[in-house]
């Protein structure tokens, strides 16, 4: 299969969006020499003078705790790195090492949700073009967000360790 020059040069092509995420994740991985320094560093930066959040959430709190979110920058770093590896190597590598990948868990969750809600079953003759475009839009959105998060994590690491002063 040959990729046309036009689609490869299109900055909005899926291939380029994937390459941007992988490049951002590689930059993050090359910059973060000591990932353990990210432990216990909260994902969100607090403004100067802002009090530390407590774990006592009330019923009327606007944002209840979410158990699926990464607790610190280290867990977020591992997630981004895992997603990059899944994109580069596919899920076969994970299956061989018998570990569940992020993508594999998402596929299993979607299959389970479809069976519970009675939505699209794999054996049904469905509108594949609509499914493709729906998932393609989702993939573009997710990859764009992951790219921004990898860049943000890299810049934040530089600020946390003071490395931003030495980079030019």
Question: How would DSSP label each residue in the chain?
Answer: ----HHHHH-TTSHHHHHHHHHHHHHHHHHH-S-GGGGTT--SSPPPTTPPPPPS---TT-SS---TTS-SSHHHHHHHHHHHHHHHHH-SHHHHHTT---HHHHHHHHHHHHHHHHT---TTS---HHHHHHHHHHHHHHHHHHHHHHHHHHHHHHHHHHTGGGT--
Q: What is the pLDDT of residue 12?
A: 81
44 inside domain: no
55 inside domain: no
89 inside domain: yes
Give the range of the structural domain holding residue 120, as residue numbers without chain letter: 13-38+70-165
Q: What is the pLDDT of residue 63?
A: 39
43 inside domain: no
Q: What is the pLDDT of residue 154?
A: 95
Q: What is the pLDDT of residue 136?
A: 94
59 inside domain: no
- Mean pLDDT in runs of 10 for the chain (168 residues)? 57 91 96 91 65 46 46 91 91 61 61 61 68 94 96 92 55
53 inside domain: no
Q: What is the pLDDT of residue 56?
A: 45
107 inside domain: yes
57 inside domain: no
Count structural domains, the chain. Answer: 1
């Amino acid at each position: 299969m040959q990729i046309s020059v036009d689609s490869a040069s299109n900055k909005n092509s899926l291939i380029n969006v994937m390459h941007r995420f992988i490049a951002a994740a590689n930059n993050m991985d090359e910059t973060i020499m000591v990932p353990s320094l990210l432990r216990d560093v909260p994902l969100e930066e607090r403004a100067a003078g802002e009090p530390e959040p407590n774990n006592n959430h009330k019923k009327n709190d606007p944002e209840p705790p979410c158990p699926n979110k990464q607790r610190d920058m280290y867990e977020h770093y591992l997630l981004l790195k895992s997603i990059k590896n899944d994109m580069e190597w596919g899920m076969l590598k994970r299956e061989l090492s018998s570990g569940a990948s992020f993508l594999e868990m998402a596929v299993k969750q979607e299959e389970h949700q479809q069976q519970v809600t009675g939505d699209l079953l794999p054996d049904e003759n469905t509108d594949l073009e609509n499914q493709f475009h729906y998932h393609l839009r989702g993939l573009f959105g997710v990859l764009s967000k992951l790219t921004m998060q990898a860049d943000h994590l890299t810049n934040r690491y530089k600020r946390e360790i003071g490395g931003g002063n030495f980079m030019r």
